[in-house]
Structure 1
Amino acid sequence: MTATLHTAPVTIPDTTDQRVVRRRLGPGHRIRFSFWFGPALALAIWSIGSATGLIKPAILSAPWDVVVAFQDQWVNHDLLGNIVASLQRSLVGLTLGVVTGAVLAVISGLSRFGESLIDGPIQIKRSVPTLAIIPLFIAWFGIGEEMKVITIALISLVPIYIHTHNGLRGIDGKYAELAETIGINHGEFIRHVVLPGALPGFLLGMRFAVTSSLLGLVVVEHYNAVAGIGYMITLAEQYGQTDVIVVGLVIYGIFGYCADSAVRFTGRRVLAWRQTLEG
């Protein structure tokens, strides 16, 4: 008698579906509009503290007083003009810093000779706070717009250079071996492997650069500015208008938060091919 062995069919799990399930149910699941939860919670705590008297008006104006001050600045003063002036300074300085930092990072990251010329001075600059150099910039460029833009650009340059350079140097050597195996030339390897591989570092540097540019903006607008949010805050400080000061700080915060969110959104779109906890 011959026994017949019946085996169950082997089912190969669909790894793609499993990844989708983990992405839907796991810790990487993204909640719609979740980036507003933190600011909304901070606003709620601020409102409750002001309403209950835990936060004194002399220390921090209540949110509703800040809204009234915002309306007054918008209607009776040139708040829109101050916002445009600050955005223009920040945008011009940030653009100059990002372009210069990226170019220097590419030259240094792709060439040993370029690294020997560029990396040392950048690292020295990194250890010297840019804000400490402002008196020297005033002596060189005066106290006009040129000094302000150059200061913001120099502050933005360093994080772009550092993170882009690290991204270029962090490319896995196996890709170079693979390129040699399939016959990709040096130029194609840089365009299709090295530069896309360094893009996450560049975008991370952008997030730091945006924050740094706003830090520089806050400082330089206190030097002989005739327009801008910093100019408005300086006038409010002279007259003891804490609600107007808070208006300026809130606007700075909105600038930074929106800019950082825009960089993160761009990163998720551009780096959609990368499987990370965030995306």
Structure 2
Amino acid sequence: MSLPTAGTLTRAETATESRTTRRFRIPAPRRWLSPVLLLVLWQVTSGTGVMPEDKLAAPLTIARSAGELIANGQLLEAFQVSIGRVVAGLAVGAALGVLLALIAGLSRWGDALVDPPVQMFRALPFLGLIPLLILWFGIGEAPKIALVALGVAFPLYLNVHAAVRGVDPRLLDAAKVLGFTRWERLRHVVLPSAAPQALIGLRQGLAAAWLSLIIGEQVNADSGLGFLINNARDFLRTDVIVVGLLVYALLGLATDALVRLLERRVLRWRTTTGS
């Protein structure tokens, strides 16, 4: 019995090492070739005057400007303001989207009353609501947070609503036979079944949140990354504009990576089952 056991352990260890290797695999050198060539071409065209600085600054100029913005604290201050707006909008939008999805998904009456108006509002281009939000909330933080919240709420609502409605009825019947209360069925059956699609909705909502923030911060803002970009536009500082856009991109990638990490933690059972 010791030999099969040892073989089983070896296979399990090999599978674990294989998954670890796949997770932390460094991209092949050829994957870096085209980005590096593009940067070199960009630097050469800017340095020779083919691409004027007032149209697009050179990569080295952008790097120097990023260092200056970090050193004088402007980039950190703008970063903190923008992060605060996204966190506030994400909290409001996620709570609203999930609550409405649960009401519509768990009850026929809730679906009849909640889903039609949500679908009507979803059809509206929510970025076009900026003038109305300014009239309602003024030009302070509220319209920017509301815009981010709207961007987050709709993807979450659609995914959670579809996931709740798509729960296997046999699981619910089994839970009912076992004597689970309505709350226990929600906690132990509905929410775990809806978690994968809800996390997809969260990733989509975060992408929409950063898009909403970029638009919102360029309308009547006096701080944040959008304000930094607007000021740079007025002075034809394309280097600062690119720095701001790169920070937006990095923040989007970072938040998406955090959700994927959360997905691996929350859905560990699915990874284990599939191995």
- Structure 2 length-normalised TM: 0.85
**Aligned residue for 2:131?**
135
Partner residue of 1:30? 22
For the pair 1:56 / 2:51, whether they are aligned, the reply is yes
- 2:84 equivalent to 1:92: no
Give me the whole-angstrom Cα distance separating, in 1, the residues matched to 2:41 and 2:273.
Answer: 35
Which residue identity is paired with 1:53?
T
Question: 1:150 — aligned with what?
Answer: 146
The question of whether the paired residues in 1 share the 8 Å contact of 2:126 and 2:147 is answered with yes
Could you tell me the percent identity over the aligned residues? 35
Residues 189-217 of structure 1 deviation map (CA, whole Å, 9 limit, x = unaligned): 21101111111111111101111111011
Pairing 1:207-218 to 2, within 5 Å after superposition? 207-218=203-214
Q: 1:65 to 1:252 in 2, by over 3 A?
A: same
CA-based RMSD of the aligned residues comes to 3.2
Query: TM-score scaled by structure 1?
Result: 0.84
1:106 maps onto 2:98 in alignment: no
Q: What is the CA-CA distance between 1:31 and the residue it aligns to?
A: 3.7
Match of 1:259 in 2: 255
Aligned partners of 2:101 and 2:160 also within 8 Å: yes
Q: Distance in 1 between matches of 2:131 and 2:102?
A: 31
Kindly tell me: are residues 35 and 80 of structure 1, through their superposed partners in 2, closer, same or farther at Cα, counting changes over 3 Å?
Answer: farther
Deviation, 1:109, is 1.1
CA distance in 1, matches of 2:214, 2:139: 15
Q: Deviations over 1:21-46 (max 9, x none)?
A: 677669x9724065999996775244
Aligned residue for 2:199, secondary structure, equals: helix
Cα distance in 2 for partners of 1:168, 1:17 equals: 40
| 1:183 alignment partner, SS class | coil
Is 1:269 equivalent to 2:265 in the alignment?
yes
How far did 1:71 drift?
1.6
Is the contact made by 2:96 and 2:153 (CA closer than 8 Å) also made in structure 1? Answer: yes
Number of aligned residue pairs: give it. Answer: 267
Match of 2:222 among 209, 226, 229: 226
- Point out the more displaced range, 95-104 or 58-67: 58-67
**Rounded Cα–Cα distance in structure 2 between residues aligned with 1:100 and 1:196:** 19
CA distance in 2 between partners of 1:106 and 1:37 (Å): 47
- Secondary structure in 2 matching 1:274: helix
Structure 2 unmatched ranges of 5 or more: none
> 1:174, CA displacement in angstroms?
1.8
Matched residue SS, 1:30: helix
1:240 equivalenced with 2:232 (yes/no): no
Question: Displacement of 1:255 after TM fit?
Answer: 0.6
**Cα deviation, residue 51, structure 1:** 3.6
